[in-house]
């Protein structure tokens, strides 16, 4: 979906409708080197014997997903006071801001 660069929405600080600039919120970066699951797996697969749940072929997170789209948050910045707020746009495959 193509989004317009600016939209006129309510600003809770200015208490009126003001033109806001639209930007797509970036995905947060990964924390730490190994995730909890990765640490669990390395603990489970050391030594001898059956590895229980780790003996199976791992199923990727993407394979477990049933939805093909994701909810997209956008960042709205007020042009008068500079206050930023977030808003969800619902499910869509791709977002693009018009130039
Ligand atoms: Zn404002």
Write out pLDDT tens, residues 15-40.
999 999 998 887 767 777 788 888 88
Separation of CA 22 and ligand 1 centre (Å): 14
Structure tokens at 67: 């939805």
Separation of CA 29 and ligand 1 centre (Å): 29
Summarize the confidence of residues 41-53 as an average pLDDT: 76
CATH number at residue 76: 3.10.450.80
- pLDDT at position 58, please? 77
**Cβ neighbours, 10 Å, residue 22:** 19
Separation of CA 71 and ligand 1 centre (Å): 25
The H or E element that residue 72 is part of is strand 70-78
- Decide: pTM greater than 0.85: no
Separation of CA 97 and ligand 1 centre (Å): 22
Separation of CA 28 and ligand 1 centre (Å): 26
Q: How confident is the model at residue 43 (pLDDT cuts 50, 70, 90)?
A: confident
Place of tokens 């072929």: 57
Number of domains in the chain: 1
- Per the CB < 8 A criterion, the answer to whether 5 and 19 are in contact is no
Q: Is the pLDDT of residue 48 over 80?
A: no
Q: What's 31's DSSP letter?
A: P
Separation of CA 12 and ligand 1 centre (Å): 7
Range of the domain at 12: 1-26+70-93
Distance (Å) of CA 7 to CA 11, 71, 89: 12, 19, 13
48 falls within a domain:
no
Q: What is the dihedral of CA 14, 73, 71, 12, to 10 degrees?
A: -10
């Amino acid at each position: 979906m193509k989004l317009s660069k600016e939209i006129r929405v309510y600003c809770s600080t200015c208490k009126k409708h003001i033109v806001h600039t639209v930007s797509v919120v970036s995905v947060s970066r990964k924390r730490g080197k190994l995730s909890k699951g990765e640490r669990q797996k390395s603990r489970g697969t050391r030594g001898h014997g059956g590895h229980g749940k780790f003996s199976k072929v791992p199923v990727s997170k993407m394979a477990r997903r049933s939805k093909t789209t994701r909810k997209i948050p956008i960042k709205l910045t007020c042009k008068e006071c500079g206050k930023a707020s977030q808003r969800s746009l619902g499910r869509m495959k791709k977002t693009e801001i018009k130039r």
